[in-house]
Each structure stands twice: as C-alpha cells, then as structure tokens.
Amino acid sequence: MGMLDHWHPIFPSQKLKRGKTAGLQLAGSLICLYRTAEGAVAAVNDVCPHRRLKLSYGRVVGDRIECKYHGWTFDACGNGESPSTPKLHTCTDAYDTREAHGYIWVKSKASTPEFPEINADNYYHLGNFHHVVPAPLELTVDNFNEIEHSGTVHDTFGYDLARMHEVKVNFEPTDATVKVTNVGPTKTLFKPLAWVLGIRKGDLFHDHWTTHFSPVYSVYDHWWTSPDGSRESMMRWRLYMFFWPIDGDRTAVTSFVYAKSRFPGPAGGLRISKWIFRREVDREVRQDIAMLEHMADKNPSIDGMKLSRFDRVLGLTRERIQRIYRGIPAGRIPLTL
Ligand code: FES
Ligand SMILES: [Fe+2]
C-alpha cells in the first residue's frame, strides 16, 4: 500500500458547503473536493487533464465539477467530457470518500484498508482541531511520540523537569503498532487548573499512547493520580491525533479530542467549560509546533542524533511508517515523500 491508500481525515465536513469546492494537498497530491447534487462528497484530482488548471478553481454543475478554463467537466468518478470535443475520452483520478466524526476522509479507489476506529464511549467530545506543522511527517510524529520535551515545552500535560529522571517509560511494539506508557511526577500546573482537576504537588501524571500506521495516528490517554494511586484526577483526556503529510515539508495534525469528568452536571461540567479546555489543547499543540519550526535540520533521518532513553520510539515508528504507511520495505529507500 502507498500513502494515499489509507483513510485520511482531510477536511471538516461542515466547511464543504454545497456548490463550493475545496482544494487540498495530501502526500503531495492535489485533491479537489465538492458535493454532488445529493450532497455526497466527491474527491477528484485537482489538476485538469486538459491544461492543468486547478479544478477547485472551477464551479459545481449538478453532479460535476466544471473547469473554469475551457469548461471541461468531471463527475465524482473522474469521468470527463469536453464541450468542444464531445468524442474525446478523458478522465482524471477520483478518490473514495467518507464522512465521519465531523470530517471528510479520503483514500485511493484501489485500496481496502480498515477505517480507523475512534472509540470514545463515555467521553465528551471537546472538539476537532487542525494544525499545520512546518516539518516532515517523521519529525512531527517524533515530537508527538515522546514526553521528554514536556518538562520544558508544555504547561499542562507533562512531567517536572527536575524529576524527569524518575519518569518510567515503557515500549510495547507489535508488528503494526507501537504502545508507549509513561508515568512520573507531574509538572506544576497553573494553580486554579490544578485545583479544578484535583491535582496536588507530587502527583503522578500518566501518559499512555498507541500509534497506528494505517493511517499514521496516535491515541492518547492522559490522567493523574496520587503517588500511591488511590486518588485520581477529576478529568481524563483521550486524544486521537492523525498525522498526514501535506507534502515533503509540511504535515497536518488533525485531532479529535475527548474528555471525561467526574463532576456532577451535564457532561460533568464540560459542556459549559469546554472552551477553556479547547483553548488549552490548541495552546499545547502550538507549543509543539513552535519546536518543530525551530529545528536546525529537518532531515527526517535519525542518523547522527544523540538519542535518549525516551527516543527508542523514534526507530520503532520510522520502521512502521516506512513499511506500513509508505509501503516501502524498511531500510531500502531513503526517507522522502
Ligand atoms: S484546463 Fe481545464 S478545461 Fe482546459
Ligand atoms: Fe508536546
């Protein structure tokens, strides 16, 4: 399988109105989205086969997208017609589409991968986020797959830098996934937030995640306990973060964020306070992006890096990104888009 053969969440459903188009890039391929007359999402190559105008610059006519340059039209399967040359056979690539969890997902027509399951029963949906990281896929995944940086980069989710050496990290790779579990002394949170969450100085922060590679995404669980485990924080988080290359230099991070609260009231108070936690998640991701913006070298190879005990995950994820996501036998071909 190649990169386009996996299901990717590429655009918020509600942003694609009928009669409108959206032009996107996924793994270097240009994709035009529009809705057919019935409202179904169509995804076709955003390059008109005639003279390469972007189809997303055109308009929707019934079930077809009409190129603005010379009026050739294409249906959701990519079958084209030319007004000037009716007998000319032309077509363009089309993609399978699906709408789920508030997003439009696409993949190539040829593949049959499993659709990534989002399991957040008993959690409250805080929202979906879309961020663009100015770094290649591997470096982006590296960032979101280690917590050594949490002592310095983050305000809420992470470990006390002075006690980072106490943090226990455990790796459980399988052929298709990499699970990482971390536990250690939490960093000091903003006092009102710590009070609301029921977190005291010296409590343990638990950060578990499993990374999958068809497509590339990590599922995180965050929570806190007292050092002896008898008391748990009032809230837990579950995040699904999908990492997909826009091109060789930029990676999209599409997040589906959930939380669970033990406070009384509708959704444990999350319904009225969700804007605070939405802002918090957005801020934390932007703090990660700032690090990736300032990398001195964005070569995704780990050769020459001096890696720490938290970084074993880098090699594990690279091997699976190469083999499962890119469909390239690991180690044979240099890491490129
Ligand atoms: S470039 Fe699209 S119709 Fe000519
Ligand atoms: Fe981070």
Identify whether 207 is part of a domain.
Answer: yes
Q: Looking at the CA of 56, name the nearest ligand.
A: 1
Closest atom of ligand 1 to 67 CA is 2
Q: Looking at the CA of 289, name the nearest ligand.
A: 2
User: Where is average pLDDT lowest: 201-210, 267-276, 327-336?
Assistant: 327-336
| Ligand 1 neighbour 74 (Cβ under 6 A) | no
Identify whether 90 is part of a domain.
Answer: yes
User: Do residue 104 and residue 129 come from a single domain?
Assistant: no
Q: Is the pLDDT of residue 335 over 70?
A: no
User: Do residue 134 and residue 99 come from a single domain?
Assistant: no
Q: Measuring from atom 4 of ligand 1, which residue has the nearest CA?
A: 70
Band of pLDDT at residue 330, cut at 50, 70 and 90:
low
The CATH number for 43's domain is: 2.102.10.10
User: Do residue 87 and residue 143 come from a single domain?
Assistant: no
Q: Where are the alpha helices (DSSP H) in the chain?
A: 137-144, 150-153, 191-197, 270-293, 312-320
| Ligand 1 neighbour 67 (Cβ under 6 A) | yes
Q: Is the pLDDT of residue 214 over 80?
A: yes
Identify whether 337 is part of a domain.
Answer: no
Band of pLDDT at residue 307, cut at 50, 70 and 90:
very high
Q: Measuring from atom 3 of ligand 1, which residue has the nearest CA?
A: 70
Identify whether 331 is part of a domain.
Answer: no
Mean pLDDT of 236-265: 96
pTM of the entire predicted model:
0.95
Closest atom of ligand 1 to 72 CA is 3
User: Do residue 316 and residue 216 come from a single domain?
Assistant: yes
Looking at residue 155, what is its pLDDT? 87
Looking at residue 265, what is its pLDDT? 83
Closest atom of ligand 1 to 52 CA is 1
User: Do residue 38 and residue 131 come from a single domain?
Assistant: no
Identify whether 101 is part of a domain.
Answer: yes
Identify whether 116 is part of a domain.
Answer: no
pLDDT tens string 260-270: 999 998 899 99
Q: Is the pLDDT of residue 75 over 60?
A: yes
| Ligand 1 neighbour 48 (Cβ under 6 A) | yes
Percent of the chain whose predicted confidence (pLDDT) is above 70 = 98
| Ligand 1 neighbour 56 (Cβ under 6 A) | no
Band of pLDDT at residue 204, cut at 50, 70 and 90:
very high
User: Do residue 87 and residue 198 come from a single domain?
Assistant: no
Q: Looking at the CA of 218, name the nearest ligand.
A: 2
Q: Is the pLDDT of residue 333 over 80?
A: no
The CATH number for 157's domain is: 3.90.380.10
**Overall number of domains in the chain:** 2
| Ligand 1 neighbour 123 (Cβ under 6 A) | no
* Domain of 87, in residue numbers: 3-108
Mean pLDDT of 105-119: 96
Looking at residue 336, what is its pLDDT? 52
Identify whether 142 is part of a domain.
Answer: yes
User: Do residue 88 and residue 141 come from a single domain?
Assistant: no
| Ligand 1 neighbour 54 (Cβ under 6 A) | no
**Closest by alpha carbon to 240, among 196, 281, 199?**
281
Band of pLDDT at residue 1, cut at 50, 70 and 90:
confident
User: Do residue 101 and residue 129 come from a single domain?
Assistant: no
Residue 168 burial (10 A CB sphere; 0-12, 13-18, 19+): exposed
Looking at residue 127, what is its pLDDT? 96
CA of 171 to the centre of ligand 2 (A): 18
User: Do residue 101 and residue 226 come from a single domain?
Assistant: no
Closest atom of ligand 1 to 70 CA is 3
Looking at residue 320, what is its pLDDT? 96
Q: Looking at the CA of 286, name the nearest ligand.
A: 2
Query: What does pLDDT average to over the chain?
Result: 95
Closest atom of ligand 1 to 71 CA is 3
Looking at residue 332, what is its pLDDT? 58
User: Do residue 233 and residue 313 come from a single domain?
Assistant: yes
pLDDT tens string 233-242: 999 999 999 9
User: Do residue 104 and residue 128 come from a single domain?
Assistant: no
pLDDT tens string 172-187: 999 999 999 999 999 9
User: Do residue 103 and residue 132 come from a single domain?
Assistant: no
